[in-house]
Amino acid sequence: MTKQGPMSTGKHFSDAGLALIEHAVRDISFGSLTLVVQDSKVIQIEKLEKIRICEHQPKASGKTAVKAADGAALRTRILQSVSGMEYGKVAIQIQSGQIIQVERTEKYRVGKFTGLHGEGI
């Protein structure tokens, strides 16, 4: 029996987990956010923020790069990206406060291969 964590994928993906991801995306001007999936659950968020010295300006309060109206589209895209994944990562690339790329890397766990080193051939 597997415990369902607060960041599990599919219909068990919590609103709090999605809100946390949405907040992290809004907080980054340049960088990336990586969601780590294990046993079909998002177990970790890795946030990498780059600070461009020549372009760095303080963020205005109340003004975010990802508008609230875009929140539903962002949530839908995140759910699509992690849907059906058992193990892997979803990386969200952000430039100038805009999401420019979502990359999904899925890993498969396999058992012992027969014939890999000549046995069974």
Structure tokens at 107: 């890993």
CA neighbor of 78 nearest in space, from 10, 32, 29: 10
Q: Which residues contact 18 (CB under 8 A, 6 or more apart)?
A: 75, 78, 79
pLDDT tens digits for range 38-69: 888 888 999 999 988 876 555 544 444 455 55
DSSP 41-104: EEEEEEEEE---TTT--PPPTT--SS-GGGHHHHHHHHHHHHTT-SEEEEEEEEETTEEEEEEE
What is the predicted pLDDT for the residue at 13? Answer: 65
3-state class (DSSP) for residue 36 = strand
What is the bridge-based pairing of β-strands 31-38 and 87-95?
antiparallel
Integer angstrom CA distances of residue 98 from 28, 89, 109:
9, 20, 34
pLDDT in tens, 63-115: 444 555 577 788 888 888 888 898 999 999 999 888 899 999 999 877 666 66
Residue 37 has pLDDT above 60, yes or no: yes
pLDDT the model gives residue 55 = 60
